[in-house]
Structure 1
């Protein structure tokens, strides 16, 4: 993957947008030392380059009754392209799966699953394992969230 060349102003804009994407462009421009039009052009360029992929509302899971976070580790039944494609489609189809990774190490895949309670997880689990051939599945339940952020580190830029 090719890195995009960003300057200090781009970095400052990204830091501000990661904190709150609803901030008016004029306010961002003032904070980074630009006028609104050049600031807006930079934001548009960052979007066109794919640095900013989208702007979303972040919801509080616990306020929506989603009190349980589960990390599900999976060992593949097979290691061929068709199984990988089928499994990726299957696991991605569940709204409870909020993150999904192919991993190195003992387990092949890691799913982050958010549900209301144990009964909801059990329902999810049965649908997951019944939909495709798996070798092994293990789940770990988060007891406490100590840090959560969607902001990416930018100090290396």
Structure 2
């Protein structure tokens, strides 16, 4: 199951950022991790077995660091296109 998790934080300090990056890098379920412009500060792409596995990741994430003000997930129903090829 693929989950896209959007996060907002109340803390934008470099110390918080370094702690957050270290935390997220420790999650083997996270396959992509971005700092974003716009309404949300970060976007995570996760691969998990099922909803129970997502819930375990969610709990580890929100209990692993203070300062998150919103954690919102969307779940892929179908992957329609995927490629890493670039036109030359």
Give the TM-score normalised by structure 1: 0.54
Candidates 12, 17, 27, aligned match of 1:94: 27
CA distance in 2, matches of 1:76, 1:149: 31
Count of equivalent residues: 87
TM-superposition CA deviations, 1:95-150 (whole Å, max 9, x none): 00000000000000000000000000001110011000111100000111001112
Structure having the higher strand fraction is 2
Displaced runs of 4 or more, over 6 A: none
Give the TM-score normalised by structure 2: 0.94
Larger relative contact order (CA 8 Å, sep ≥ 6): 2
Structure having the higher helix fraction is 1
TM-superposition CA deviations, 1:10-57 (whole Å, max 9, x none): xxxxxxxxxxxxxxxxxxxxxxxxxxxxxxxxxxxxxxxxxxxxxxxx
Contiguous gaps of at least 5 residues in structure 2 = none
Alignment correspondent of 1:109: 42
Alignment correspondent of 1:130: 63
Show the 5 A alignment for 1:1-157: 68-133=1-66, 134-151=68-85, 153-155=86-88
CA distance in 1, matches of 2:58, 2:43: 14
Contiguous gaps of at least 5 residues in structure 1 = 1-67
